[in-house]
């Protein structure tokens, strides 16, 4: 009897995996994943079989993982939380009768937030700016409603070569609802090699360093910067 673990490995640094994720990898005979993400967990893989595929091979990758899981213990890995923009959905959509267990992880917005302070302390949302599978009009509508509702906003996949202007345009939408001194964090490679973060405001924001490995966090109307830390108050009387 096989089994498929859908594993969120967290941001990438081994220390930020859960113990359960480590155990699932160790127990597995085969590891399936996007080549770059497999590298993050190399020290755990040792002499296990690896099936790694390039970007945009998601459907094929999930098909292989499910097929292998019919008689082997297999882990398919996503960075962050496998259940937030990860592989958990596709696996469960395609599953027939294979045994599947989803193991959650630290999602990218949580990882990015921890580096710059405590920006996500109040009601917050995650929005992906990738239009591969979501119409851009719907993305802009969500950004606008989230800004109107004073949600803290974490932008996933904020910028790529194919859509260099979306981030600028979405920040303009947010500026219609928030003051110029609202903090904005750009965090690249949070909690893994190559980590870099900058705290701007809506007024000073510059997207030149933003790429697909970045998360952009925009504060709510109460967020502020103190000693270089981006803080959103929960509301306690201090």
| Sequence-separated (6 or more) residues with CB below 8 Å from residue 48 | 28, 29, 30, 31
Which residues from 24-63 bind a copy of itself, rule CB under 8 A?
A: 58-59
Site string for a copy of itself, 62-81 (x = CB under 8 A): -------------------x
- Count of other CB atoms within 10 angstroms of residue 55: 9
Distance CA 182, CA 236 (A): 20
CA–CA separation, 73 vs 75, rounded Å?
A: 7
Tell me whether residue 50 or residue 94 sits nearer to a copy of itself (CB atom): 94
DSSP letter, residue 49: E
* Nearest approach, Cβ of residue 65 and a copy of itself (Å): 14
Q: Does 4 bind a copy of itself (CB under 8 A)?
A: no
Radius of gyration of the chain (CA): 19
Choices 44-52, 103-111, 162-170, 202-210; region in contact with a copy of itself by CB under 8 A = 103-111
CB of residue 96 vs a copy of itself: minimum separation in angstroms?
9
Q: Which of 41, 44, 74, 113 binds a copy of itself (CB under 8 A)?
A: 113
In the complex, least distance from residue 208 CB atom to a copy of itself, rounded to whole angstroms = 25
Nearer to a copy of itself, 80 or 206 (CB): 80
Do 11 and 190 meet the contact criterion of CB atoms below 8 Å apart?
Answer: yes
- Listed ranges 27-35, 106-114, 160-168, 196-204: which one lies at the site for a copy of itself (CB under 8 A): 106-114
Q: Which strand ranges, in their side-by-side order, compose the sheet holding 229-231?
A: 117-118, 229-231, 224-226
* Footprint of a copy of itself on 118-157 (CB under 8 A): 118-128, 132-134, 138-139, 141-142, 145-146, 148-151
* CA 37 – CA 54 distance, rounded (Å): 10
Sign of CA dihedral 116, 234, 201, 171: positive
The answer to whether residue 88 forms part of the interface with a copy of itself (CB under 8 A) is: yes
Sole binder of a copy of itself in the list 86, 158, 183, 219 (CB under 8 A): 86
Taking CB under 8 A as the criterion, which residues in 170-229 touch a copy of itself? 191, 226-227, 229
Number of residues located near a copy of itself, criterion CB under 8 A: 75
69 Cβ neighbours under 8 A, 6+ residues apart: 2, 3, 4, 98, 99, 100
């Amino acid at each position: 009897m096989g089994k498929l673990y859908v594993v969120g490995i967290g941001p990438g640094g081994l220390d930020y995996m859960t113990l359960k994720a480590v155990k699932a990898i160790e127990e597995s005979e085969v590891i399936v994943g996007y080549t770059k993400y497999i590298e993050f967990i190399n020290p755990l893989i040792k002499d296990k079989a690896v099936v790694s595929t390039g970007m945009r091979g998601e459907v094929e990758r999930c098909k292989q993982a499910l097929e292998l899981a019919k008689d082997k213990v297999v882990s398919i890995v996503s960075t962050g939380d496998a259940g937030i923009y990860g592989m958990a959905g596709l696996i469960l959509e395609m599953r027939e009768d294979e045994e599947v267990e989803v193991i959650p992880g630290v999602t990218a917005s949580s990882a990015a937030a921890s580096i710059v302070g405590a920006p996500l302390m109040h009601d917050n949302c995650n929005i992906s700016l990738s239009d591969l599978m979501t119409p851009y009009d719907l993305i802009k509508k969500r950004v606008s409603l989230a800004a109107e509702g004073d949600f803290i906003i974490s932008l996933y996949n904020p910028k790529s070569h194919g859509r260099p202007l979306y981030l600028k345009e979405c920040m303009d939408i947010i500026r219609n609802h928030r003051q110029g001194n609202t903090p904005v964090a750009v965090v690249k490679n949070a909690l893994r090699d190559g980590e870099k973060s900058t705290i701007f405001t809506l007024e000073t924001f510059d997207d030149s360093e933003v790429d697909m490995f970045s998360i952009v966090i925009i504060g709510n109307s109460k967020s502020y910067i103190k000693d270089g830390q981006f803080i959103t108050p929960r509301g306690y009387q201090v």
